[in-house]
């Protein structure tokens, strides 16, 4: 048993011209694959039975692992979990439906204002990490961020939308222009998936 890199349900060039094919290929087959390989190695070295535990439980049970391996597991299993959310959260030409629009408006006044706040959080985030729209236990929506490959699932929050702001997600195409990358993200955000995530939890 081990984790395997899932195929995307779209082509690497499907998000052009907003997200480029080369970045998508490297991001998926190299970066995500690397998080999976490292996670597999740590689990194999520790106890293969741990593969049977769902990832979102395992990431909250780092004490199952020897002390010196916990940080490496947190980074790599976190990377695997976050990137699974990432690929599913991308699709061109989706629209926010009326129900989800109302939910966003209730929390953030308007969809435009939500996008601005989320964008601002991403611009202000220093270093590598992720920007999230999460739903907490009280059913409240909140914009938040995590550093490195920390995942909001560890904080008992459920991610609805995620934005990868590691340089590997944009540097080939956008170079240092993180703001332009974020602008393009809004053209490939998968609103259907976000709404599905919202109602599922
Ligand atoms: Mn990434």
How many whole angstroms from 145 Cα to the centroid of ligand 1? 14
Query: For 94-108, what is each residue's pLDDT tens digit?
Result: 999 999 999 999 999
d(CA 201, CA 89): 16
The Cβ of residue 193 has, within 10 Å, a number of other Cβ atoms equal to 18
Name the token pair of 19. 């997200």
> What is the per-residue pLDDT for 156?
76
How many whole angstroms from 77 Cα to the centroid of ligand 1? 13
How many whole angstroms from 122 Cα to the centroid of ligand 1? 14
Strand partners, 173: none
> What is the per-residue pLDDT for 63?
94
How many whole angstroms from 139 Cα to the centroid of ligand 1? 27
Q: What are phi and psi of 16, to 5 degrees?
A: -65, 150
How many whole angstroms from 175 Cα to the centroid of ligand 1? 15
> What is the per-residue pLDDT for 138?
87
How many whole angstroms from 71 Cα to the centroid of ligand 1? 18
For strands 158-164 and 129-135, give the pairing.
antiparallel
How many whole angstroms from 83 Cα to the centroid of ligand 1? 6
Per-residue pLDDT of the chain in tens (201 residues, 90 and over written 9): 899 999 999 999 999 999 999 999 999 999 999 999 999 999 999 999 999 999 999 999 999 999 999 999 999 999 999 999 999 999 999 999 999 999 999 999 999 999 999 999 999 999 999 999 999 988 899 999 999 999 998 767 899 999 999 999 999 999 999 999 999 999 999 999 999 999 987
Burial of 68 (0-12, 13-18, 19+ CB in 10 A): exposed
What spatial distance separates the first Cα and last Cα of the chain, rounded to whole Å? 28
> What is the per-residue pLDDT for 16?
98
How many whole angstroms from 102 Cα to the centroid of ligand 1? 30
Query: For 157-171, what is each residue's pLDDT tens digit?
Result: 899 999 999 999 999
């Amino acid at each position: 048993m081990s984790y395997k890199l899932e195929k995307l349900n779209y082509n690497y060039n499907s998000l052009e011209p907003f997200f480029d094919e080369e970045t998508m290929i490297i991001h998926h087959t190299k970066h995500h694959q690397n998080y999976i390989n490292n996670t597999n190695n740590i689990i194999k070295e520790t106890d293969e039975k741990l593969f049977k535990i769902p990832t979102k439980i395992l990431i909250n049970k780092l004490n199952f692992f020897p002390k010196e391996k916990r940080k490496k597991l947190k980074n790599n299993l976190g990377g695997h979990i976050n990137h699974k959310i990432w690929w599913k959260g991308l699709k061109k030409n989706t629209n926010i439906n009326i129900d989800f629009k109302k939910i966003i408006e209730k929390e953030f006044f308007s969809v435009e204002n939500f996008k601005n706040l989320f964008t601002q959080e991403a611009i202000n985030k220093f270093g590598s990490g992720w920007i999230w729209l999460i739903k907490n236990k009280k059913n409240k929506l909140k914009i938040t961020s995590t550093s490195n490959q920390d995942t909001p699932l560890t904080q008992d929050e459920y991610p609805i939308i995620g934005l990868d702001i590691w340089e590997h997600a944009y540097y080939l195409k956008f170079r240092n222009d993180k703001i332009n990358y974020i602008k393009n993200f809004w053209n490939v955000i998968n609103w259907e998936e976000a709404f599905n995530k919202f109602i599922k939890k």
